Structure 1
Amino acid sequence: MNRRQVFLSHQQYQQQRESLEGVEAHWRSHSMMADSPLQEASLKAWEVQQARLHRLILGYTGGEPLEQLAQALDGVIEAYEDYQRKLALHEEMPDIAPLAIDDYPYDFEEYVQVIGLCILLQRGDLLPRLALLQDRAGYKGDDTLVEDLLKAYLPDREDVDQWNHEVYTPLVKAIYVDDPDEARELLVEYCNQWYLAFEHASWHDSHLDDEDGGYFGYWAFEAAAIAYLYGLDDSAVRHMVFPRDMLEYARRFSPPPIPGR
């Protein structure tokens, strides 16, 4: 085990991996309390989607090979699609988004994390499917950071100057400042305040709970994805949430050109 964050012991890694990998089988054979069969199906699909994403992040934290994680992204995107279909049936809203990224900062962080994972692990082929789930609900052109992450991979993204959550201000500004030194410092600022900004997230401080074992890793994948796409200097970033070796892996490949730059 070549762990990438110090909080994860070998025992915790094994226990959490077993737990996450057992979620799908559990819900295939167990019922869940819900108001209707459609709601139950959507809740189960959400549990599976979360388990697949957290299993992938746990794999990164635990030191699994990046090529292996890149393949696991197929299952993550499939789980988002399945959850959206079942949520749409339950809510009777065909185009409902799986993530309410305007209202909930934790949903937004999840969205840009998954985008970042696709970018860094060279799975840009999955981004059209992921973005479609959100775009159909009217989120296209809603947030600068999302558009700046996607525009190199998807045609006709929007040029907007607004973002929904204040925590991302340093990262957005790092893209647009002319001074490389200032961009470097903004990237540092973003990573340094990232963990504290999500103090109310369900995963926050999970490494302190030995009994629950819910820790799977704390990572600002979107920060590394922006550094990769826009050629930012990350040499001053020291915070543990910055996935440096995933960025180094991505830099083996040339980033796609960004329209307008």
Structure 2
Amino acid sequence: MRDTLKPKEYFDQYIQKTSEGIQKFENGLSEGKYQADKILFIKDYILQKKIGIIIAKYSKGDPLNDIKQEFDSTVELFCEAWDDSVYDSNIIYASLAYLLGLEADKLKSIKDKLQNADNYDSLLEFILTGNKDNFDASKISFPKPYKNLVKSIEAEDREPFLKYLKGWYKGSKGSAWYGTHELENKYCYNGYWSFESAAVAKRLGLNDSDLQNEQYYPYDLVHFN
């Protein structure tokens, strides 16, 4: 187990119930039940649920190689149907793609898809490529919540990175997933992880040896591959 807020049995149930929901929609697609203008929406919904399962499996403690294989299988659907209008979802997907060590051609496909988004910025570019040459802190899509993370990239400095990580959960109060671990008899929670913090730490080569047990920090992903 990597998560400390829910037991293994909860995540098993989350994965089972979410998988059953996905199967219903996939059956509907194969049976031609949906109007043509709804198909991409349905496929994006399926993909979002698959990412939720992947995060739940990470929280549950599944092996990273298995998680990588499952994530890798989502890239084709991502390039076809991903709704790129939600910035924090873009950040999560890009961060996982990098941390799990996807091949360069798949990272490029993800970048090509996200570059079409109105919210594509230097933070996404840095996570996906590690390239700081054109990093522009003045053009971050959501500068306030990511301020300290951006500062850490600009200065290659650990202190603003730590400030970002320490304030990450509280600073995410407006997110749809915030507080979902408190909902009873509902399977909405899949884990709280600042994947973008891990991606930036790995890109910058920051010393994170004291963060191995830090809540919200996916330490083993930084050191995977």
Tell me whether the two structures share a fold, i.e. TM-score over 0.5: yes
CA distance in 2, matches of 1:176, 1:202: 29
Distance 1:28-1:73 versus aligned 2 partners, 3 A rule: closer
Candidates 100, 112, 119, aligned match of 2:98: 119
| Aligned residue in 1 for 2:25 | 27
1:112 counterpart letter in structure 2 = I
Which 10-residue stretch deviates more, 66-75 or 230-239?
230-239
Candidates 231, 240, 251, aligned match of 2:215: 240
SS at match of 2:167: helix
8 A contact 1:206–1:214 mirrored in 2: yes
Candidates 91, 94, 99, aligned match of 2:84: 99
Q: Deviations over 1:49-71 (max 9, x none)?
A: 11111111111000000011111
* Alignment gaps of 5+ in structure 1: 85-97, 101-106, 251-261
CA distance in 2, matches of 1:159, 1:30: 44
Shift of 1:129: 1.2
| Aligned residue in 2 for 1:196 | 170
Candidates 129, 141, 145, aligned match of 1:167: 145
SS at match of 2:115: helix
Candidates 108, 114, 127, aligned match of 1:128: 108
Q: Which has the larger radius of gyration?
A: 1
Q: Deviations over 1:75-132 (max 9, x none)?
A: 2222222325xxxxxxxxxxxxx212xxxxxx22221222111221111432111111
2:110 counterpart letter in structure 1 = L
Q: CA RMSD in A?
A: 2.4
8 A contact 1:120–1:249 mirrored in 2: yes
* Alignment gaps of 5+ in structure 2: none
8 A contact 1:224–1:244 mirrored in 2: yes
Shift of 1:176: 2.2
Distance 1:157-1:43 versus aligned 2 partners, 3 A rule: farther
SS at match of 1:232: coil
Percent identical pairs in the alignment equals 22
8 A contact 1:220–1:242 mirrored in 2: yes
Aligned residues: 217
| Aligned residue in 2 for 1:89 | none
| Aligned residue in 2 for 1:81 | 79
Q: Deviations over 1:25-44 (max 9, x none)?
A: 2113459xxxx813431331
